[in-house]
Chains A and B, each alone.
Chain A
Amino acid sequence: DTGVSQDPRHKITKRGQNVTFRCDPISEHNRLYWYRQTLGQGPEFLTYFQNEAQLEKSRLLSDRFSAERPKGSFSTLEIQRTEQGDSAMYLCASSLARTSGSNEQFFGPGTRLTVL
């Protein structure tokens, strides 16, 4: 399977614990995005990388959230001191930067986080 993969698919944790999610993009894609989606809402942008550089972060990304893409390939999203409000589906997407035309984003299956 050469699509975007995410690990784990499900995570249940207790409030106050730290969690880390991984995303492996499509191999030739240089852009990687993280989104959060709650029930009945569309995905909300969190941050994105072009290669290893984190180019944009949403105001939604509090100090407890950090994302890395150290070698410009896979990325991790860490949430420290989780809160119940962090419960959501965390989606990763990747795309190939183009100077013109569509920059279609391909999404992974997501990591569903439940904070008890």
Chain B
Amino acid sequence: RKEVEQDPGPFNVPEGATVAFNCTYSNSASQSFFWYRQDCRKEPKLLMSVYSSGNEDGRFTAQLNRASQYISLLIRDSKLSDSATYLCVVTRSSASKIIFGSGTRLSIRP
């Protein structure tokens, strides 16, 4: 079993829709959580950190559920430019390696 698991998708949704992804992690000692975005043939870029209290950045909302060991990403009013692969990232300590999920592909159609 992978330490960080994501539904690979693809999610194909119309522009303006709301879409949500989940990511599960197996190590209860995990401490920090992130969502990264990766465009085709580009490097990953940080989308947002995920805090225990949940956090929002414009159309994006991230949630953390430590009891069930999953994090989620909600995208509201999706735009064509949101089409990308979304990578769930988990770390065990600030000095440790970070572990990427395999990513969820999102395609927004006009």
Identify which of A42, A45, A110 contacts B103 (C-beta below 8 A). Answer: A42
Interface segment, one of A65-73, A78-86, A98-106:
A98-106
When the two chains form their complex, are residues A105 and B97 in contact, meaning their CB atoms are under 8 A apart? no
Asked if A56 meets B46 with Cβ closer than 8 Å, knowing A40-B8, A41-B102, A42-B102, the reply is no
A97, B45: Cα distance in complex, Å:
18
Q: How many A-B residue pairs have CB under 8 A?
A: 52
A50, B99: Cα distance in complex, Å:
18
**Which of B's residues lie within 8 Å of A, judged by CB?**
4, 8, 32, 34, 42-46, 49, 87, 91, 94-103
Instruction: Apart from A33-B97, A44-B100, A45-B98, list 12 A-B contacts with CB within 8 A.
Output: A35-B100, A42-B4, A42-B101, A43-B87, A97-B95, A98-B94, A99-B94, A103-B94, A104-B34, A106-B46, A109-B43, A110-B43
**Which of A's residues lie within 8 Å of B, judged by CB?**
33, 35, 40-45, 48, 50, 55-56, 58, 91, 97-99, 102-110
